[in-house]
């Protein structure tokens, strides 16, 4: 605490990201990274960018990348905004669109950065309880609000809300912005991006961190009506003219353009998820149906926290949230085949038989 700080700093409760361990040879199933590296075309494109031109500022509006995203999703350039990871895109969205006189709504179990943004920008919010099965019920959101945001599939549950439900919500909730945070959508859901031209208050946020194997270069994007995008551009241009560096722009562009590699990688992760789910169920876990690259599951014969500790002793890191309603669950990222086998084998040795 310091008398030099701005008032807001005293009240912040920062987000705590999953651990990025500095020890080698750990099996890291805690931050939902893709088990497979990026497309070889990404590496080639970044390779070509390495040189004297790094002395020059990047394109402040990242047109090339935005055009690649627009082309892939069938949008116009002015319907796409890019930022330094989807966390930055979310931050600008909270400040530029979701700070309203009425409270913002989001699920009680959800991405734990949402209340942190509300703290930073003094956004009033209400958390809407998920059903007992961790499902989002859109009827619960049909109340006075200054905006609605949820991940789809939800995090950390992995549970998908069907597109038809999102469309129902948009038909009924027309006076405030609805943000669908689709970090994990490519692993088993249908994106709401196809609804953008019908609903001017829909903003869809995605990232290259998960399905495109590029958490290391920090690129996220928002898609929506040009009017919503303009709000984000205004905030961005009042914050940082050049949020994406040269390497990130070319790398992300190549990733979006290599559709075959992307589909193949997603398919492998989805197949592994189904295998791991079956194994966990055999081991007595309650597994929430997942449309993501992770599984949210509760062990039946050991506490989740003890199990996380035991796994860590065996060199495997998973994510445990010490929070109401979910403190009996672990969030386990899908790894490579070898990593998944190591996980199952460790679980078999830890969990009492019977």
Residues 47-86 that bind a second copy (CB under 8 A): 47, 50-60, 84-85
Instruction: Note whether 228 binds a second copy by CB under 8 A.
Output: yes
Q: At 86, give phi and psi (nearest 5°).
A: -70, -20
Q: How far is the CB of 228 from a second copy (least distance, A)?
A: 6
DSSP 243: -
Interface with a second copy in residues 184-213 (CB under 8 A): 200-201, 209, 213
Instruction: Calculate the CA 255 to chain-centre distance.
Output: 17
Query: Omega into 156 within 30° of 0, i.e. cis?
Result: yes
Residues 288, 332: Cα–Cα separation, whole Å: 12
Q: In what order do the strands lie in the sheet with 104-107?
A: 80-83, 220-224, 202-207, 178-181, 147-151, 104-107, 125-128
In angstroms and rounded to an integer, the radius of gyration of the C-alpha atoms of the chain is 20
Q: Interior CA angle at 220 toward 110 and 28, to 5°?
A: 65
Q: How far is the CB of 265 from a second copy (least distance, A)?
A: 10
Binds a second copy (CB under 8 A): choice among 7, 313, 352, 353 = 7
By rule CB under 8 A, what string of x and - marks binding of each residue 274-313 to a second copy? ----------------------------------------
Interface with a second copy in residues 82-141 (CB under 8 A): 84-85, 87-88, 91, 95-100, 116-117, 119-120
Binds a second copy (CB under 8 A): choice among 188, 243, 299, 335 = 243
Binds a second copy (CB under 8 A): choice among 15, 127, 284, 302 = 15
Binds a second copy (CB under 8 A): choice among 215, 276, 295, 304 = 215
Instruction: Note whether 176 binds a second copy by CB under 8 A.
Output: yes
Q: Which residue, 265 or 283, has its beta carbon nearer to a second copy?
A: 265
Q: How many CB atoms lie within 10 A of CB 37?
A: 12
Total chain residues near a second copy (CB under 8 A)? 85
Q: Which residue, 238 or 345, has its beta carbon nearer to a second copy?
A: 238
Q: How far is the CB of 193 from a second copy (least distance, A)?
A: 18
β-strand partners of 316: 27
Instruction: Note whether 321 binds a second copy by CB under 8 A.
Output: no
Residues 27, 317: Cα–Cα separation, whole Å: 6
Largest CA distance in the chain: 64
Binds a second copy (CB under 8 A): choice among 242, 302, 310, 328 = 242
Q: Which residue, 246 or 331, has its beta carbon nearer to a second copy?
A: 246
CA count, 13 A, side-chain hemisphere, 322: 4
């Amino acid at each position: 605490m310091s008398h030099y700080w701005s008032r807001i700093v005293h009240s912040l409760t920062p987000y705590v990201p999953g651990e990025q361990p500095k020890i080698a040879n750990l099996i890291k199933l805690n931050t939902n990274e893709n088990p497979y590296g990026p497309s070889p075309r990404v590496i080639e494109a970044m390779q070509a960018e390495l040189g004297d031109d790094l002395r020059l500022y990047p394109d402040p509006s990242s047109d090339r990348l935005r055009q690649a995203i627009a082309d892939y999703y069938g949008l116009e350039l002015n319907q796409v905004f890019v930022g330094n990871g989807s966390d930055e895109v979310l931050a600008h969205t909270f400040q530029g669109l979701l700070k309203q006189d009425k409270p913002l709504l989001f699920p009680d179990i959800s991405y734990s950065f949402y209340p942190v943004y509300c703290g930073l920008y003094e956004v009033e919010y209400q958390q809407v309880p998920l059903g007992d099965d961790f499902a989002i019920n859109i009827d619960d959101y049909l109340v006075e609000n200054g905006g609605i945001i949820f991940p789809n599939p939800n995090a950390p549950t992995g549970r998908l809300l069907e597109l038809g439900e999102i469309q129902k919500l948009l038909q009924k909730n027309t006076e405030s912005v609805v943000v669908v945070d689709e970090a994990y959508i490519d692993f088993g859901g249908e994106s709401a991006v196809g609804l953008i031209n019908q609903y001017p208050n829909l903003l869809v946020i995605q990232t290259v961190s998960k399905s495109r194997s590029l958490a290391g270069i920090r690129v996220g994007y928002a898609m929506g009506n040009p009017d919503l995008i303009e709000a984000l551009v205004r905030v961005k241009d009042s914050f940082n003219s050049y949020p994406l560096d040269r390497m990130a722009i070319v790398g992300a562009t190549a990733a979006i353009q290599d559709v075959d590699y992307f589909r193949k990688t997603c398919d492998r992760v989805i197949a592994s998820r189904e295998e791991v789910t079956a194994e966990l169920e055999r081991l007595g876990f309650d597994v929430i149906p997942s449309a993501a690259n992770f599984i949210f599951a509760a062990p039946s014969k050991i506490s989740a926290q003890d199990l996380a500790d035991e796994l860590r002793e065996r060199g495997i890191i998973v994510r445990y949230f010490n929070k109401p309603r979910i403190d009996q669950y672990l969030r386990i990222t899908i790894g490579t085949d070898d990593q998944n086998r190591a996980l199952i084998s460790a679980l078999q040795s830890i969990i009492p038989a019977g």
